[in-house]
Structure 1
Amino acid sequence: MSRSEHASVVEFKSWLVQNGGRIHPEVHFEPGLAGFNVVARNDISANQSIVSIPFSLAITPEVARQALKELLGHEQPSLNERQLECTYMVLHWIVRPLNSDVLKHDPYLITLPSPDKLRTPLHFTDLELAAFRGSNLFGATLDRKRQWEAEWQQCREAVASANADWGTEFTWERYLSAATYLSSRAFPSTVLSETPSLVTTDTSYPVLLPGIDALNHARAHPVSWVVSAPSAPQTPSSSPPAPEPSISLVIHTATSHGAELLNNYGPKPNAELILGYGFSLPDNPDDTIVLKIGGPSTAASSSSSSMGWEVGRNARGAEPVWEAVLSAVRAQNAEDGEDGVEEEGDAAVEDELCAADMLAEMAQGLHGRLPPFPSDSEASAAIRPEVLRMLEHYLEGQRDILQNLVAFAQEKEAGALQRAKELGLDVVEEEEEEQP
């Protein structure tokens, strides 16, 4: 392991400490495939604080809002939290010379991966993105691009109204880089509280924590975010102010010499990891697929709408989907007047059999629309290995979930048939659906 660090890392560490942060002396930044990896220069025992920063060193909407007010001359109430923070970052790359009192995060931003190393789907080539066509992730990527491009246009207009030259330099590529840094490195603002949490809420927003966000992800890795909030001084007002709150990343396992120091971003499916971070995990147990129920002609949407249901491996979360499909069937039959001409038991069984068939058909249809993994060597050679790996991991998870969902529907069908038998009902069994 190299003993020297890149000049940008040396500058960043110095800046962090000068601004009230602390970093473990054995933390070492080494060049990696996507920026820097954080490794242990020597053995680091368990339960050690790796990085600690004061709240004021975070990039928050309030920090960005104040900076934009000073640079652009007025408030920007129409910009959302992401737009504020992204515009703040982009202005670091435009305004020269930098006003370090306003744009104070340059030593942090220069350590982030260069745009050519970013691997979220908005950085895929057209051919790479086309390999995901037919999946939820493909639609989610197009949705995100439309949303972010609209946000960029609004930000650029706000900047150009104050300085035309800055507006010209406020390019889509720069905004995309800033938005990707935010999606791949931000924590929810809920970490900046007395009881820090990674759980997002309706009122939380993304924040960037320099240094703490430098560590890569390891699923289920035991870490803690510890907030130190000193109490206010009890001495006269002429005394120095009390230290401000700070947040620390504590790793609870020992790390040996040369091994990578890792964080835990929380349980995330590969769809979220690929879309927001640009990497995936093999056989990810947290994988999900989003289903959207569409009335009597029940179908699944290929969008990642929050109005849908998330189903995971082993049919985790499938029960609410089943209830929605069954309710749609019952509503349609009631509208058609079918339930009124049958006995109650007959109707219930028929509804369940119809719903089971519909759910299995939905899952099989989605399975059939998933793109095939490129088998042609020429086609796969045109896709970068890291993107090909993400495609493989993603498709494996989606297919497994849909196969589990078909099996779940078949279990519901078997249960309905058993009840029909117990009730002495004459039900003609349809040919068993083939599992995809």
Structure 2
Amino acid sequence: MTEQTTPDDISTFIEWLSNNGGKFHRNVSFRAEPSGYSVVARQDIPSDTAVVYCPFNLAITPDISRRAITSILTSTDHSSLDNWSERQLICSYICLHWILSEPSHRDILVHWPYLKTLPSADKLRTPLHFTHNELEAFRGSNLYGATLDRQREWQQEWRECQDFLSAANPAWASDFTWERYLTAATYLSSRAFPSTLLSSEPSLISTASSHPVLLPGVDALNHARAHPVSWVVNAPDRGDTQTISLVLRTNTPRGAELFNNYGPKPNAELILGYGFSLPHNPDDTIVLKIGSNPTTSPTTPITPTTPATAQPPGGKFEVGRDARGADPVWAAVLAVLREDPEETTVEDELDAAEMLAEMAENLRNRLPQPRVAGQDFRPEVATMLEHYLEGQRDILSSLIAFAREKERQAVQQAREQGLQIVDEEAEEEEE
């Protein structure tokens, strides 16, 4: 895209970023896409080039959001803000930009140029933006339940924020709609970085004390798995503000898209938080819940009554492709089944292997079937469903193979001990 064809909202944003101490590389431009904008190279960009700088003071943080809210709502009791989540603070700050357009608030609501470059609600594709039929196509998967959980959580947050606004200005509260809160929350889930990035040693790893932040400009690049990038904090020079820059470690030819790297994420996370997926994603996982009681979860294996004195280590476990992470699941199932917590018998291992295989098979059988795009089912959603289900089925198949290998090892061990293994299913068939 040439300078002459740059949309007005992008030109305004670039100027605003520059006026506040940030910038894009001179050979970076924006290209309109159905989902918003992508960032491309106007000319060849060599490796080890910083393509965008964002000043720390332009980041949208919970603290900045809270200060803006309290500055605007001066006559309101602010004590309830102490109980708000970081998401509520940031989303309310974003929504106030859409609700209040008076010039008197422009010195407080300063992120207008940035927000105007973000995709509108109709372009967002996370599951909370699916049609009813599209979401129903995921029924039977973990992602379906996670979507409903997120909707309940976010709607509760929205109501709390709306009640707070209603006490200050009922008209503002009426304009503080669920669609606007959802849009702001989706921006946060798809574009936020951990605050650990804004440190002398920037990191994408969240900590207990970190919080989400939005970095205008830095969040403009789309994701490419395993794409080599670096984050560099630039020390202020003679009073200039501190900035964070994104450095690409590979050459980008003219006309090619520039990519960021959001880190290793499974398709479940990419779909739920970002609204896209990757084919045959190596980082795919499935979350399993193992408990000591068959009523604790649909994914809990049906187990015999556990002795009251035993404390089996249940909980949630994440398993990846090639049964990566299956060992803790195996240990949990064994802990549920064995009667003696101090000793594991061959019979325990055979029972555990059969139970783990049965659990994985049941989960695989409950997965929905891929859908073809058609009426009320958009192509990009059909693609996400296909990518997601491929990963889930592959993981569960590898878990079944893992269980069968454990069974084979137990049978071999029994033979070495001179024990006779009785195949009850074979006996029943003979009868």
After TM superposition, is the score higher than 0.5? Answer: yes
Q: Which moved more, 1:40-49 or 1:277-286?
A: 40-49
Partner of 2:305: none
- 1:21-420 aligned at under 5 Å gives the runs 21-73=22-74, 74-75=77-78, 76-98=81-103, 99-230=105-236, 242-297=239-294, 301=298, 307-330=315-338, 333-334=339-340, 348-374=345-371, 380-420=374-414
- Give, in angstroms, the shift of residue 307 of structure 1: 4.7
- Give, in angstroms, the shift of residue 229 of structure 1: 2.9
1:260–1:284 distance in 2 versus 1, CA, 3 Å: same
Q: Distance in 1 between matches of 2:71 and 2:236?
A: 30
Deviations 1:274-328, CA, capped at 9 Å, x for gaps = 000000000000000000002153986569xx95110000000000000000011
Q: Distance in 2 between matches of 1:159 and 1:401?
A: 46
Aligned residues of 1:184 and 1:277 also touching (Cα < 8 A): yes
Which amino acid in 1 is paired with 2:71?
E
What TM-score, normalized by structure 1, do the two folds share? 0.90
Aligned residues of 1:134 and 1:302 also touching (Cα < 8 A): no
- Give, in angstroms, the shift of residue 47 of structure 1: 0.7
The gaps in structure 2 that reach 5 residues or longer are 301-313, 427-431
Q: Distance in 2 between matches of 1:91 and 1:230?
A: 31
What secondary structure does 1:90 align onto?
helix
Partner of 2:309: none
- Give, in angstroms, the shift of residue 360 of structure 1: 0.5
Partner of 2:13: 12
- Give, in angstroms, the shift of residue 158 of structure 1: 1.2
Q: Distance in 2 between matches of 1:327 and 1:302?
A: 16
What secondary structure does 1:224 align onto?
strand
Q: Distance in 1 between matches of 2:284 and 2:229?
A: 22
- Give, in angstroms, the shift of residue 165 of structure 1: 1.1
Q: Distance in 2 between matches of 1:214 and 1:302?
A: 39
The gaps in structure 1 that reach 5 residues or longer are 232-240
What TM-score, normalized by structure 2, do the two folds share? 0.91
What secondary structure does 1:227 align onto?
strand
Aligned residues of 2:10 and 2:117 also touching (Cα < 8 A): yes
Q: CA RMSD in A?
A: 2.0
What secondary structure does 1:289 align onto?
strand
Q: How many residues align?
A: 407
- Give, in angstroms, the shift of residue 100 of structure 1: 2.1
Q: Distance in 1 between matches of 2:376 and 2:11?
A: 38
Q: Distance in 1 between matches of 2:375 and 2:2?
A: 33
- Give, in angstroms, the shift of residue 416 of structure 1: 0.7
Aligned residues of 1:50 and 1:251 also touching (Cα < 8 A): yes
Aligned residues of 2:291 and 2:315 also touching (Cα < 8 A): no
Q: Distance in 1 between matches of 2:25 and 2:297?
A: 49
Deviations 1:137-160, CA, capped at 9 Å, x for gaps = 000000000000000000111112
Q: Distance in 2 between matches of 1:252 and 1:33?
A: 28
Q: Percent identity?
A: 59
Aligned residues of 2:354 and 2:403 also touching (Cα < 8 A): yes
Aligned residues of 1:298 and 1:358 also touching (Cα < 8 A): no
Which amino acid in 2 is paired with 1:324?
A
Aligned residues of 1:315 and 1:408 also touching (Cα < 8 A): yes
